[in-house]
Structure 1
Amino acid sequence: MKERILTGFIGGAAFLIFLYLGGKLFASLISLLTVIAYIELMKMAKIRLWSFPSLLGIVGVITPILSTFLFLGDYSFLQGFERILISVAFLLLIYIVISKNQFTFEQAGICLLGIIYIGVGFYALIDTRISSGLAYFVFILILIWTTDSGAYFTGRYIGKNRLWPSISPNKTIEGALGGVGFAILVGLLFQLFTSFFNGYMTVIWMSLLISLVGQLGDLVESAIKRYYEVKDSGSLLPGHGGILDRFDSLLFVFLILYLLQMH
């Protein structure tokens, strides 16, 4: 427990510092986390790190972030992303033939889906920080963390009905509802002291959306780990697992907000 708390404190503080500084420093940190998270996915899927598909996937997952934020200063991400996806898919399909099915169609799908899930998800963090500013980003973080804490304590003390036992045995319906309730409460308090949004109804449905999508992101990553029969996505963060374990909710929330143009 001490190791978990210490890692969480140091890691959280470092992330918040880079978040506050913003710009290329924050983009550089997110670029590093993107690569690590993709490597974790490759390891779970038992795709060799130094193989052509893994290296191609790393290039695919990081190129948009690097080219957009570190070199060109052009924030029109999706204009070129489809070409990256098509090019990667084309090369992976060719490699299936070259490897004589040692590399499979299923593994090619994992590499490609990983680029979308991890690459676009982490990209959305940077885009939100740039386009919407620090306060909005912090608001989202607070709601995600509140949801996690609210769900944990509610589930621990009054949770009886399992939410999705085949995916995440410890989560309960009561915990999920408690996480949503706490998120809405904290969202309303945020609005009370900051008047950041246009009215309390906006805050309520934003808090509801962020809380529900964050919990869904957690379940998605749990499903991936259960499929590959691993406890954690990695071991980089002692007591917490890997990068995907810590950013599962954030990736989904920021991705959905980006797609809905709510960033």
Structure 2
Amino acid sequence: MTVGVLGAISADAGIPVVASQQAGAEPVQSRGLGSLTSRILSGSVLGLAGGLIILAGGWVFTVATCLVAYQATQEFYGFITSKGISAGMEPPPPAVSVLTSLMCVCLSVWTYASHGRSTAALAVSAFALLSLQLLTVKQLRFSQLASSVFGLFYCGYLPSFWIKLRVLSAPAINSTAVHGWPVLFGGITHWTVGLIATFMTVACTIAADTGAYAFGRTLGRTQLISISPKKTVEGAIGGLACSTVVALAFWRFLRWPAQVGVAVGLALLIFLASLCGDLIESVMKREAGLKDSSDLIPGHGGLLDRFDSYIFTGAIVYFVLKFVTPLFGL
């Protein structure tokens, strides 16, 4: 799970924990001090790198998104080819996995190059994946078609919305608070809706995860959902509260969003989207019988373990800013 797994509670709280190992595997030992140190260090490096990448925008942000899409695809196919899932569902052949990785990366590149137009590219990519299977798989099953298209959507199309969000170019800063900031940060004209919205979405997601973890661990008693018994109602309330506080801080100090109601609404949607992303990856890991999606990030597991909460948030915030708030003149 990510650092901010919602409602994580201590073992003495009396709520069962989902088994995360393959059948017959050794029990997972509790993480020691060395693991905690590596977790903090790798998390700090990721946070610093992520902040600089968001600030840079452009091709730097796009290349980073491409790397995320590629690694997410590898870990997704690791799930569906695992013993836990493949026992009941025939996975797509390796050629489809390779093409899916390529298409997921190309979706991010196309989204940036076309200034956010990726819907048709998704349809073309899906057609290519399905056609390849029709031509190469003798005993083709629906599960193979469905899993490949879901992988394209989950690992390629959804991450591309972060590029759509980042390239929103309308000026965002109405406050005098940042007029004195050094040119190092790009100057006042650099602070667009895309930049501030991306920073706020990431910050609210981190706050939701961290707040839910802290509140759930200290106060969590009521199970939230059976999919992940570690998640509690108390943790969810804490996560929502922390996400709201961060959104209100952006509204108060940067004057974005311009209306306090929009800030609160975005905080709620970001929290719900991060929770949904976390739960969906939990389902995949449970079905695969895996504890982590990979061992890519020391102390955190795989990329999907760290970024599952971000899968849907970019798309949700982009939709609200692009279509909902203009509709109501906000």
Same fold (TM over 0.5): yes
User: Which of 147, 150, 163 pairs up with 2:211?
Assistant: 150
- Could you tell me which residue of structure 1 aligns to residue 7 of structure 2? none
- Deviation of the 1:258 alpha carbon: 3.6
- Deviation of the 1:220 alpha carbon: 0.9
User: Which of 81, 85, 92 pairs up with 2:122?
Assistant: 81
Conserved 8 A contact 1:93-1:108? no
Conserved 8 A contact 1:3-1:238? yes
- Structure number with the bigger relative contact order (C-alpha 8 A, sep ≥ 6) is 2
Aligned ranges 1:124-163 → 2 under 5 Å: 124-131=161-168, 132-163=193-224
- Could you tell me which residue of structure 2 aligns to residue 46 of structure 1? 81
Cα deviation per residue 1:177-196 (whole Å; 9 max; x = unaligned)?
Answer: 11111211222222111211
Compared CA separation, residues 138 and 208, structure 1 to 2 (3 A) = same
| Counterpart check, 1:185 vs 2:245 | yes
Conserved 8 A contact 1:43-1:49? no
Compared CA separation, residues 91 and 120, structure 1 to 2 (3 A) = same
| Counterpart check, 1:238 vs 2:298 | yes
User: Which of 186, 206, 209 pairs up with 2:269?
Assistant: 209
State the alpha-carbon separation in 1 of the partners of residues 37 and 92 from structure 2: 32
Higher helix share: 1
Sequence identity percentage: 30
State the alpha-carbon separation in 2 of the partners of residues 182 and 116 from structure 1: 29
- Could you tell me which residue of structure 2 aligns to residue 252 of structure 1? 312
User: Which of 39, 43, 60 pairs up with 1:8?
Assistant: 43
Aligned AA (2:256): F
Aligned AA (1:78): T
Larger Rg: 2
- Could you tell me which residue of structure 1 aligns to residue 184 of structure 2? none
Compared CA separation, residues 109 and 79, structure 1 to 2 (3 A) = closer
User: Which of 95, 101, 118 pairs up with 1:58?
Assistant: 101
State the alpha-carbon separation in 1 of the partners of residues 145 and 273 from structure 2: 27
Compared CA separation, residues 152 and 74, structure 1 to 2 (3 A) = closer
- Deviation of the 1:35 alpha carbon: 0.5
Cα deviation per residue 1:200-228 (whole Å; 9 max; x = unaligned)?
Answer: 11111111111111111111111111111
State the alpha-carbon separation in 2 of the partners of residues 158 and 38 from structure 1: 36
Aligned AA (1:223): V
Unaligned runs of 5+ in 2: 1-35, 83-90, 169-192, 324-330
Aligned AA (1:67): W
State the alpha-carbon separation in 1 of the partners of residues 151 and 92 from structure 2: 14
State the alpha-carbon separation in 2 of the partners of residues 60 and 261 from structure 1: 27
- Deviation of the 1:262 alpha carbon: 4.1
| Counterpart check, 1:169 vs 2:210 | no
Give secondary structure in 2 for the equivalent of 1:133: helix
Compared CA separation, residues 128 and 58, structure 1 to 2 (3 A) = same
Aligned ranges 1:45-124 → 2 under 5 Å: 45-46=80-81, 51-69=94-112, 72-97=113-138, 100-101=139-140, 104-124=141-161
State the alpha-carbon separation in 2 of the partners of residues 173 and 67 from structure 1: 40
TM-score, scaled to structure 2: 0.72
Unaligned runs of 5+ in 1: none
Give secondary structure in 2 for the equivalent of 1:168: coil
Root-mean-square deviation (Å):
2.1
- Deviation of the 1:44 alpha carbon: 1.4
Cα deviation per residue 1:87-142 (whole Å; 9 max; x = unaligned)?
Answer: 22222233332xx45xx431332121010011111101111111142111111111
- Deviation of the 1:66 alpha carbon: 2.4
